[in-house]
Structure 1
Amino acid sequence: MVGAFAGVTTVGPGERSARAHHRRNPALLSTALPRAGLTLALLFALAAPAAAQAPLYSGLGGDQGYGTECLFRNDDRSSSAIDITPAFPSGLRFFDSTFTTVYVNTNGNITFGGGVSTYTPDAFPLSRTPTRPMIAPFWADVDTREAPGSGTCSTESAGTCSGGDNSIWWHLEPNRMVVTWHEVGYFSCNNDLRMNFQLILTGVPSCGGGATDFDVEFRFNRCEWETGDASGGSGGFGGTPAQSGFDAGNGRDYVAIAGSRTDGIASRLCTMSNVDDTGVWRFQIRSGTVVCPEAGEFCDTGMMGVCAEGVTQCVGEGTACQPVVPSSDESCDALDNDCDGAVDEGDGLCTSATAVCDRGVCVDVCFEGGCPPGQMCSEAGRCVEEGCEDVECPAGQRCVAGECQDACEGVVCPAGLSCRAGRCLDLCEDVECDPECTACFEGECIARCDLEGSAGCEAGETCTADGLCEPTACIGVSCAEGEVCRDGAGCVDACEGAICPNGEVCELGRCVSAMSVEPEMDAGMMSAEDAGMEMEEPDAGAEADAGRMVPRRDDGCGCVTPGAPREAPAGLLALVGLAWLARRRRR
């Protein structure tokens, strides 16, 4: 056991380094939530097993040091309503509601709105009526009726607190509640195997004021059984094993540790962790929603190609590493776009019927042994860029002017988009932030500029209703489709200045495949007159996939032709075969 909480470090809001132009206070930051709600079935990210289990916090008073309040010996019973305002004056906001009372249930959980006697854990999300919002470190058929060594199996009168092993305790102090299931046995009156675990709730100041956000910690010290006899078990195992996690009580939202209700869950809880601390599981409740300490961190999805780089999210059954760049149709760009382990495979990757994809670039056949200026005829009879004929680039790169370049190098995405793995994406499209505390910027939840304690916006900027700083001159300006407001320039073409990734052109502020654009003249390519350029050999034009940009026309069309080399982002090897495990703190 360890002492009380003087030296305990609690889990605060997720933090990342602040962006200079917002000068935000990192202590106010939270983690990102996916837009689709909390019903996705995802796998929980687990640390490797280790030998020792977590010590429980003691020194809290009472017979066993776990507090002075004790649940009488019973089977399937609950405490009366416990007033938690001495610890959390504003109550606790959990999913859809704010609560000022809580119920401690014998069967390894606490609930809001009433007690729960169900001994066999139902699968989350709960549908049984009435449903109660639940926090469950170990929901299983706990039976505390027999004091070890007594030989007596009987229920005590409510209000009795006889102490000893096989008992349940709780403790309240300012900003914290601790519930301990101390050396508890399982139904029916079995205490040959024990579970020893703790639930700790710690208040965290809410950036938006009002009801308290809080952190949740499960601590597992001894894990020897997982099923009661009435749940189909025998000797503490089999049947329907324990469940660990959270349920909103609304039939929809939940978070469950992977392995819940399956054999081995007890061992997993004691020997694994989501925070690299064996037997310890930590979560954050922000604006009522369960998030995880690792949510929003970059991770390795274990997938191939552009799907390799991921970001952790805490939804459904826990934390999952989801791709930053989703799978898409294969194109000629030296990337594994469809995440199947093969690069540039398949037919029809180039717009010209005579072109083929060669090392990430669409090239034509040599015409009578000749090629356009700057290109040479390879041994395979294809026109390739001079200096690239013998260059072999790693996956995710292609040769330009004799050098290997990444897929985003030199790409300038249209306003509001960012380049990842050779694609210009709206990184906030599938991210929902805590609306009271954060707003999405470039795929991450950052502190709102209107929060108390925030440095606000820079000169010439105004904090908008969505919590982001925008140029003051653009406040209230409504632009047409395909246009954006820029400080000092008003509404401008969103494609202005954009250099789309290889094989794409800018249309209405989005980079789209050149093959999907309705052809005009020569498949969307500009003529010499359109481009405002002189071309000595008009027939030398490469396909759009050749990855060369020409000056833009006044109408905002971004087109592709042979010429200057394209560039792409260093550091994206992680997306094409290397695992980018860089950890960044949340802004």
Structure 2
Amino acid sequence: MKSSFVFFFLMSEIVTNIHPTPQAPLLYPYGLDQGDRKNPKLDDGTSKRLPLSVPFTFYGKEYRTLYVNNNGVISFDTQVKQYTPDPFPLADGRAFVAPYWGDVHNVLGGEIYYRQTTDPELLQLITHNINQYFPAIPFTATWAFVATWDHVAYYDSKSNKGNTFQAALTTSTDTSFVILNYKDIQWTTGVASGGDPKTGLGGTPAHAGFNSGDETNYYNIPGSRTEAVINITKTSNVNVPGRWVFQVDDFKVTGVPTETPNSAADKRCWL
């Protein structure tokens, strides 16, 4: 079991009492009836290496393969079996999207689904969402990759708690976005990361954000690696509770305070 360094960020509070308007379900369609595949029932497991039908640009670099890792991470070119989240930026060159990096144990409960798709109906919905949130950026989705963690349990759980969240990667060929959806978050920490087996709380909580792999650039969704991450279903940068959306080809922070640290240089100002 690897140890992790406890690290705290000072960050501006995101309003949590957003009142949703009537809308379509937060999560994009998923499951076997959507053509999804499932990850193995395995502690710290991952998908096989998944070749992408189109390149996906992340922090200025094109990637053609990725892994869906059970512990709440979509990584490019390399697996991530680590279960206790470390603070960003990482010093080992791993580039990944972390919808909810924590110690998932799908043997005890839940499923992890994924698919890449050019389904016109889904792409039309994603295009509508991006155009709504970013009206100044011309965008038409031509491809998407959707990964969903459905009511997944935490390591050594002694409860029925489960987390349901999703990441959608999408591109127009020129511009790439990541949409993170959080439907139900009931736990933050597995027992091997210091959490309580009955509550799934305490220890080193889950991390949500982006690590570029260049040891400098990164972004943490506010509350990451603190107990406040359990409230991520109530926060947003696009005024939709439980949804966070970012342009990631040339990473831009939108809809959140600019003083939130998003690079190593910024971070030093907050220590």
Q: Does TM, normalized by the shorter one, top 0.5?
A: yes
Matched, 1:247 2:211: yes
Alignment of 1:428-439 (within 5 A): none
Matched, 1:138 2:109: no
Query: Structure 1, residues 81-116: CA drift from partner, whole Å, max 9, x if none?
Result: 11111xxx2x01212531111100000111011101
Other-structure match for 1:229:
191
Matched, 1:316 2:248: no
- Shift of residue 204, structure 1, vs aligned partner: 2.7
For the residues of structure 2 that align with 1:191 and 1:240, how far apart are their CA atoms? 19
- Shift of residue 135, structure 1, vs aligned partner: 0.2
Other-structure match for 1:47:
15
SS of the aligned residue for 1:84 comes to strand
Task: With a CA cutoff of 8 Å and minimum separation of 6, indicate the structure with the bigger relative contact order.
Answer: 2
Matched, 1:272 2:235: yes
Which structure: greater helix fraction? 2
Matched, 1:106 2:61: no
Other-structure match for 1:167:
111
Matched, 1:201 2:164: no
Query: Structure 1, residues 261-314: CA drift from partner, whole Å, max 9, x if none?
Result: 1112121x111111110001111113xx3213337xxxxx8xxxxxxxxxx477
For the residues of structure 1 that align with 2:115 and 2:204, how far apart are their CA atoms? 30
Equivalent of residue 290 in structure 1, options 232, 251, 271: 251
For the residues of structure 2 that align with 1:191 and 1:72, how far apart are their CA atoms? 22
Other-structure match for 2:136:
none
Query: Structure 1, residues 58-91: CA drift from partner, whole Å, max 9, x if none?
Result: 1x551xx454211011111111111111xxx2x0
One-letter amino acid of the structure 1 residue matched with residue 28 of structure 2: Y
Matched, 1:116 2:87: no
Other-structure match for 1:182:
150
Contact 1:177 1:202 in 2 (8 A): yes
SS of the aligned residue for 1:73 comes to coil
For the residues of structure 1 that align with 2:190 and 2:34, how far apart are their CA atoms? 25
Matched, 1:218 2:180: yes
Contact 1:66 1:169 in 2 (8 A): no
For the residues of structure 2 that align with 1:111 and 1:259, how far apart are their CA atoms? 21
Query: Structure 1, residues 475-495: CA drift from partner, whole Å, max 9, x if none?
Result: xxxxxxxxxxxxxxxxxxxxx
For the residues of structure 2 that align with 1:217 and 1:123, how far apart are their CA atoms? 21
Alignment of 1:10-21 (within 5 A): none
Unaligned runs of 5+ in 2: 1-8, 119-142, 267-271
Alignment of 1:506-521 (within 5 A): none
- Shift of residue 220, structure 1, vs aligned partner: 0.5
Other-structure match for 1:78:
46
For the residues of structure 1 that align with 2:172 and 2:203, how far apart are their CA atoms? 39
For the residues of structure 1 that align with 2:112 and 2:247, how far apart are their CA atoms? 24
TM-aligned CA distance change 1:114 to 1:275, over 3 Å: same
For the residues of structure 2 that align with 1:205 and 1:79, how far apart are their CA atoms? 25
Contact 1:47 1:276 in 2 (8 A): no
Query: Structure 1, residues 520-542: CA drift from partner, whole Å, max 9, x if none?
Result: xxxxxxxxxxxxxxxxxxxxxxx
TM-aligned CA distance change 1:314 to 1:283, over 3 Å: farther
SS of the aligned residue for 1:266 comes to helix
Alignment of 1:137-156 (within 5 A): 137-147=99-109
Alignment of 1:405-416 (within 5 A): none
For the residues of structure 2 that align with 1:273 and 1:197, how far apart are their CA atoms? 14
For the residues of structure 1 that align with 2:247 and 2:14, how far apart are their CA atoms? 17
One-letter amino acid of the structure 2 residue matched with residue 251 of structure 1: E
SS of the aligned residue for 2:192 comes to helix
SS of the aligned residue for 2:162 comes to strand
SS of the aligned residue for 1:265 comes to helix
Q: Aligned-pair RMSD on alpha carbons?
A: 2.5
* TM-score normalized by the length of structure 2: 0.76
> Identity, % of aligned pairs?
32
